[in-house]
Amino acid sequence: MTKLLLALVMMLGIRRRLQLTAAAPAAGEPTDEQLFAAYRGGDTKAFDEIFRRYGPPITQLMRRQIRSNEDASDLVQQTFLQLHRARNDFREGCELRPWLYTIAMNLRREYFRKKGRRKESVMDLDAKASTQPRVDPVDVGALETQDQVRQALARLPESQRAVIQLHWFDGLSMSEVADVVGASVSAVKVRAHRGYKVLRAALEATDATETIGR
């Protein structure tokens, strides 16, 4: 990631507001894979723990592009329902997180395919649903830069945007992103590099650099 984008994220707190990664297990707690194995063995409480870890970040994944809270919530429920239905298809030795994100991404794509139109919003911050103010006190320059980031992301090809969102906002490793999007790690890195390059050029064409320098 370029220094410009890193500075932008740090200044605005975009990553703090948009990235809600899974609650990592504490020392001694079972891994995701151990929990899923326990659930497949009949331990229903293990599934509750998986939902506790991944419910919030999957919700953020959906709401980043879907304005309707109801639709986003429905897709989250469908994600975990499909996880349950496909529990016997999970292969031993694989990681649960990229598999779960693959289910979620497929459901989101299907949602927009049925809608028959372009995604409503890329990286919708949805300030009304936030329990904290976006900027306090109001920083007009920061708000304008947030819009510039949204617009720049919206112009990226879907393949590049998906990689950046999964890696930058959702905190997946490049190998996990590769599993989710069905590409090689090298291909994913190329997409990320090209996407970040376009984002930097788009932001440098605006006054974002001036905002960062404040």
pLDDT tens-place string over residues 68-109: 999 999 999 999 999 999 999 998 888 999 999 999 999 998
Domain boundaries, the chain: 3-212
C-alpha angle 59/99/159, rounded to 5°?
Answer: 75
Question: What is the pLDDT confidence band of residue 169, given thresholds at 50, 70 and 90?
Answer: confident
Looking at domain 3-212, its CATH class is mainly alpha
User: What's the whole-number mean pLDDT along residues 116-143?
Assistant: 41
If one compares 159 and 126, the residue with the highest pLDDT of the two is 159
Long-range contacts of 146-150 (CB under 8 A, 24+ apart): 146/12, 146/14, 148/202, 148/203, 148/206, 148/208, 149/8, 149/12, 149/14, 149/123, 149/199, 149/203, 149/208, 150/121, 150/122, 150/123
pLDDT computed for residue 66 by the predictor: 87
38-47, 115-124, 188-197: least confident range: 115-124
